[in-house]
Amino acid sequence: MMQITDLATEQKIPPLLRLGFRPFFLSGALFSVFAITLWLLIYKGTINLSPLGGGYWWHIHEMIFGFGGAIIAGFLLTAVQNWTGVRGAQGTILLALFLLWLAGRIFLVVPDLLGSILTGLIDLMFLPTVAYVLAKPIIAIKQYRNLFFVPLLALFTLANLEMHLSIHYPTTFNSVYSGYAGVMLVTFLMSVMAGRVVPMFTANGTNTAKIAPLPWLDKAANGSLAIAMFSLLLQPIVGFSALFFGVLLIIASVFQTMRWLRWRPWITLHVPLLWSIHGAIKFICFGLFVLGASYVIPEVPSNHVWHLLTVGGIGGLILAMISRVSLGHTGRPLTPPKSMSIAYVLISLAALVRAFGPWAIPEKTLLFIDISGGFWLIAFIIFIIGYGPMLINARKDGRPG
């Protein structure tokens, strides 16, 4: 009876607003296409536009807190329903959250409409509002283990605040360190979630036994990333040691690699939804090592190497996970459109070209950035074309969601 009632109520809600992953995965993918295109045009001087903080600040901020924030919100607002058994945000509440996120994206592009202070406040409101909506059912069910994600969103908001403060107080707050703190927070979140779901995904997708976790290894893999994140977040107070940070990232890479190899990535090569996830984790492992080396060895250009982590690791894992979650939550078999295999390969190529091209041939940096950006755009356009209809239409199996 409850399921029939839920279904009847849900029929009155547009499918796009029935669960958090629908609007935020689709809009996040669309926004990434817009943001990368706009950044390429600004970087090359094709257009004369002054978004909040300038083009470079805006690019860093929007790919982390705009694009990344949308995907994280969509994932958590969907997962909380599975954790608690309580209906997730939908309808008017979900629409309000989406419009708040969208307002931030619009006003950051044209900050003169409201001014930098009000624009910043609107942008900063989104993640705490998501945290509030997320916490309510978790606290009601007393499922305090998953309340962990609420303070994580608070830290994400703090990194965002530091980025905004860097516009007004550049001698105290460094936008690059604050942005990179956001990157490490997203990497930490992905590491935690990977530890929870990748062994199960791998076992189910390959019909093999699930690898039992090693608690000490999970703590070491996640803890080293957490320390790296705090070293960036607390930079205005304690300063920044490149040597400490670099060695820490290399240590984190070792633990991440040990854990990843235990998950047997080689048995997933015939399953696109699995090898894409494992390929992105490989970029996290490899990216952390090379990035760590860049802070120890001055000749390695850290500004380029960060893209191994942001494009190949974060971008790749986002693309792999949203394509899997969207299938499962729209009542479809876990078989992505064949074109998604191309998208998974392209996002990896985008990371390699962006990180190593300018390093190898500095005078061709602009060309490599164009190629890398083009690969990203094609990859996410493939997702939008293949998954857009799924996300805006009701579930295939007729169930709520």
pLDDT-derived band at 8 (thresholds 50, 70, 90) equals low
Query: Cα angle at 211 between 321 and 324, to 5 degrees?
Result: 15
- Model confidence at 399, pLDDT cuts 50, 70, 90, reads confident
What would the mean pLDDT of 365-384 be, rounded to a whole number?
Answer: 98
Looking at every residue in the chain, the average pLDDT score rounds to 94
Percent of the chain scored above 70 by pLDDT?
98
Instruction: Give first-to-last CA distance, the chain, whole Å.
Output: 17
Residue 1's pLDDT band (boundaries 50, 70, 90)?
A: very low
Mean pLDDT of 92-114: 97
Looking at residue 88, its pLDDT comes to: 82
Q: How confident is the model at residue 230 (pLDDT cuts 50, 70, 90)?
A: very high
Q: What token pair was written down for 18?
A: 């029935």
Long-range CB contacts (< 8 A, 24+ apart) of 193-198?
193/75, 194/277, 194/281, 194/317, 195/221, 195/222, 195/259, 198/263, 198/277, 198/278, 198/281
pLDDT for 6 equals: 63
- pLDDT > 60? residue 121: yes
- Residue 309 per-residue DSSP state: I
Assign 145 a pLDDT band (cuts: 50, 70, 90).
confident
pLDDT of residue 83: 86
Q: What is the pLDDT of residues 377-390, one digit of tens each?
A: 999 999 999 999 99
Mean pLDDT value across residues 309-330: 96
Lowest mean pLDDT across 3-12, 198-207, 221-230, 292-301: 3-12
DSSP letter string, 173-229: --HHHHHHHHHHHHHHHHHHHHHHHHHHHHHHHHT-PPPPP-HHHHHHHHHHHHHHH
Chain CA centroid to CA 60, Å: 13
Residues 306-326 as b/e (b if ≥16 CB within 10 A, e otherwise) read bbbbbbbbbbbbbbbbbbbbb
Q: What is the mean pLDDT of residues 9-31?
A: 92
pLDDT tens per residue, range 329-357:
999 999 999 999 999 999 999 999 999 99
> 45-78, pLDDT tens digit by residue?
999 999 999 999 999 999 999 999 999 999 999 9
The pTM assigned to this predicted structure is 0.94
Note whether 155 and 185 are within 8 A (CB). yes
Task: Place 4 in a pLDDT band, splitting at 50, 70 and 90.
Answer: very low
Dihedral sign from CA coordinates of 341, 346, 351, 355: positive
Percent of the chain, pLDDT > 90? 90
67 neighbors 10 (Cβ within 8 angstroms)? no
- pLDDT of the residue at 134: 94
